[in-house]
Amino acid sequence: MANIPSTINDSSQYVKNFFDKYFIHEVTFPSNQIDATVGFFLKRNFDIESARSTAIVLLNQARIDNVNVFELLDTLKSLTDIQLSQIVAQILNSSREKTSLLGYRIEQIENVYEARNILV
């Protein structure tokens, strides 16, 4: 009886196997695409870590949409910093969980003439 392996059904084995294989999927890109994309965001005053993470998300999205990354960067060059921030927020939101989204706030301009008649 000692030579027969134990067949205990462990319900957590499925979960352990799932998370053991969770980070195995590797995504590779050519180094010139990574360098160009990270350099683009560094040039636009992004921090090094945010430039890297944004570049990877942008490269993944370009691969999904079958778009050349260099053409995408050329179109992003013509944008202002505010427009670029809005587009980056939309791209990052598309790759995030739906329970966590990034946003931005636009200041509302008050009409001073009408505001002076309102008592608080």
The amino acid that residue 61 corresponds to is Q
> DSSP assignment, residue 4?
S
Q: For 46-63, what is the mean pLDDT?
A: 89
Question: Is residue 48 a contact partner of residue 42, using CB atoms and an 8 Å limit?
Answer: yes
User: pLDDT per residue over 55-98, tens digit each?
Assistant: 988 898 888 889 999 998 999 898 888 888 888 888 777 777 76
User: pLDDT per residue over 3-38, tens digit each?
Assistant: 666 566 666 777 777 777 666 666 688 999 999 999
Question: Is residue 76 a contact partner of residue 40, using CB atoms and an 8 Å limit?
Answer: yes
Q: For 101-118, what is the mean pLDDT?
A: 65
Residue 50 forms part of a structural domain:
yes
Residue 119 forms part of a structural domain:
no
pLDDT band at 120 (very low <50, low <70, confident <90, very high): low
Phi, psi (deg, nearest 5) at residue 53: -70, -40
What is the reported pLDDT for 8?
61
What is the reported pLDDT for 85?
83
Helices (H), the chain: 13-20, 31-43, 48-65, 69-77, 81-94, 112-115
Residue 105 forms part of a structural domain:
no
Residue 3 forms part of a structural domain:
no
Domain tally, the chain = 1
Residue 72 forms part of a structural domain:
yes
Question: Is residue 47 a contact partner of residue 80, using CB atoms and an 8 Å limit?
Answer: no
Distances (CA, A) of 30 to 15, 36, 49, 113: 34, 10, 19, 58
What is the reported pLDDT for 41?
93
Residue 8 forms part of a structural domain:
no
The model's pTM:
0.60
What is the span of the domain harbouring residue 87? 31-94
Question: Is residue 61 a contact partner of residue 95, using CB atoms and an 8 Å limit?
Answer: yes
Residue 45 forms part of a structural domain:
yes
Residue 114 forms part of a structural domain:
no
